[in-house]
A and B are shown apart, each in its own frame.
With several copies, the nearest count.
Chain A
Amino acid sequence: MKLLSGEILSNERYGDNLYRIEVFSPYICNNAQAGQFVNVKCSYDGSLDPFLRRPFAIFDIEKKFNVFSILYLLRGRGTRFLSLLEQGDMLDFAGPLGKPVDLTGAGANVLLIGGGIGIAPLHLIARIAVRIKNNVFFAAGFKDNAFLRWEKDLIRLKINYAVMTEDGSWGEKGLVSDYIWENLKTFENYDIYCCGPCDMLKTLQNIYKNKKNKVTAFLEEKMACGVGVCGGCVVRIKKGGKGFSYQKVCEDGPAFNLGEVLFD
């Protein structure tokens, strides 16, 4: 991990309230692994507003160009600042952060389940997995078609996928968890990586409670340091029998074994 400053190559509207920013960074492109994130200063140098850095998954890496990208939803003050940056501006960020997801050791098939902006860390996994796995399948669910443009990027990865939307405006109408439920058999021998809203993760936890799939979930928690020193970003992870321990999303995660996550 390093503190970096990278030139912004583009920062484009990607959909409704959705942006993609591309940043030049040989260091990230050479060192970042699947599942990692960057911690971004979302205010001008010397400004305290907003105060904390914001963590963002690495959405994609184009090694050839030394460019990585972030996909972000415009939510509050931090992402508003991001959305105002322009080509040529410098982005102040640190990374790669978080424990990498180890794709080499696992099974031959990978299923990615993304809900909304939760597709962000999975996209990079897809890109890496497609080279080393037999099958990679992306199941993605959205409210509406705000993420429509993503389909093009997805197609370029040359993997199979299914899109579900709540309003039926894109792909099939319904929830991604319904899709998983209906295709349980198909994905019986898949290792699963999922990221999305809490409700989706809880549903998936239920679905896979007694299955033998290895299910890895990406979690979010508010962060202060992002590098494991403050203990701010903990989630409850089952320990042995009935107990639990607090583990840090930034250092021990952001990916955890879904079966061991204790939601409240």
Chain B
Amino acid sequence: MTEQKSLFSDEITRSGNGINLSVKLGKIKLDNPVIACSGTFGCGVEYNNFYNTAVLGAVTTKSYSLEPMEGNPPPRIYETAAGVLNSIGLQNDGIDAFIKKHLPGAEKLGIKIILSIFGQDLREFDKIAYRILKIEDIREKITAVELNLSCPNIKKGGMAFSAVPGEVREIVGSVVNILNIPVIAKLSPNQDNIIEAAAAAREGGAQAVSIINTVVGMAVDIKTFRPGLGNILGGLSGPAIKPIALAKVYSLAREKILPVIGMGGIFNWEDALEFLVAGAGAVGIGTVNFIQYDAGKRIIEGLRNYLESRKIYDINEVIGRIRT
């Protein structure tokens, strides 16, 4: 208890203006470090029914492809212990629908958008980037573009792009060249090369790395002897994977390659704080939105209250402050 109070005694940031929650990840500036994860929050419009989603540091959109995509056969959802398997298969109505339909809606609500995109190959990433480039006043409308590199590289037998650092460098580099907005590389936890992939992303010019995407998982329905998911394999998310995500975030953040957006199983402000302390410059909240519709608001408030009660006036003081 006494320890808690003295943790920051040597460097308390006193300020008349209350608590600073804003963070910077490379060129990306966020009002606070809480970001909604891709694929779990639409573009933030639906959740505006539950709270003002403009309070979030940013909303990462679902991942958009060049053309609309059907996705995988149902069932696509399977509940597991403290987690959920999904095999949505990246269903989306295409980048043009985002630009014409979804972006204006989000804009109107003042939602800060991180646009997530993916392609089947480098050319498709480029094509999407060129379409994004045509958005008027793009820098005001889009905080960053996130490249979902955990999706299958069709040309390379379906392995994730992020499995091959060379591909990461090439795709990131190409999109960075086309766009004049910051680029984030989202990596897969299913390969054991996150550090190499992050280094490649930096070489390509990315401003930050998002980890982790879902972990490959599966379930069997013992009533029917069928896989729980139509696609057999799916992605596991939720608190079950939090320890795995934290280990990856910590291991990558201490390499100081790029700022890390940490995600995987965050359910409350305490979880978010764990990621920040472990070295994440910002955090993503995904699955929690399905269960606690106002999680984003709660987590931001929880972090603010925590800092206030500890007399820490700047959230950057806790980032990476793990005592090992």
Contact = CB atoms under 8 A, between A and B. Distances in A.
A81 B261 CA distance: 35
A229 interface: yes
Interface residues of A, number: 29
B204 interface: no
Contacts of B77: 52, 222-224, 230, 232-233
Categorize the interface residue count of chain B: 20 to 34
B42 A51 contact: no
A51 B80 contact: yes
B74 A227 contact: no
Contacts of B42: 228-229
B79 A230 contact: no
Nearest to A45: B292
B50 interface: yes
A16 interface: no
Contacts of B83: 51
B163 to A, nearest CB: 25
Contacts of B86: 224, 230, 232
Given A52-B84, A229-B41, A222 B75 contact: yes
A227 B292 CA distance: 12
B47 A227 contact: yes
Interface in B55-109: 62, 70-71, 74-84, 86, 88, 91
A222 B78 contact: yes
B46 A229 contact: yes
A231 B71 contact: yes
B40 interface: yes
A224 B78 CA distance: 9
A76 to B, nearest CB: 10
A85 interface: no
A53 interface: yes
A50 B238 CA distance: 12
What is the predominant secondary structure among interface residues of chain B facing chain A? loop
Given A228-B42, A246-B71, A3 B91 contact: no
A174 B238 CA distance: 45
Given A229-B40, A229-B47, A51 B74 contact: no
Contact of B91 (A231, A235, A236): A231
A155 interface: no
Interface in B134-154: none
A255 interface: no
B88 A230 contact: yes
Contacts of A50: 79
A48 interface: yes
Nearest to A94: B293
A48 B39 contact: no
B291 interface: yes
A167 interface: no
Contacts of B290: 52-53, 224-226, 230
B70 A245 contact: yes
B46 A234 contact: no
A49 B82 contact: yes
B103 to A, nearest CB: 16
Interface in A194-249: 221-236, 245-246
Given A1-B50, A221-B75, A231-B62, 12 more contacts: A2-B49, A51-B81, A51-B84, A52-B79, A222-B76, A224-B77, A228-B46, A229-B62, A231-B39, A231-B71, A234-B74, A234-B76
12 contacts: A41-B291, A48-B82, A48-B267, A51-B82, A51-B238, A222-B75, A227-B47, A227-B49, A228-B46, A229-B40, A229-B46, A229-B47
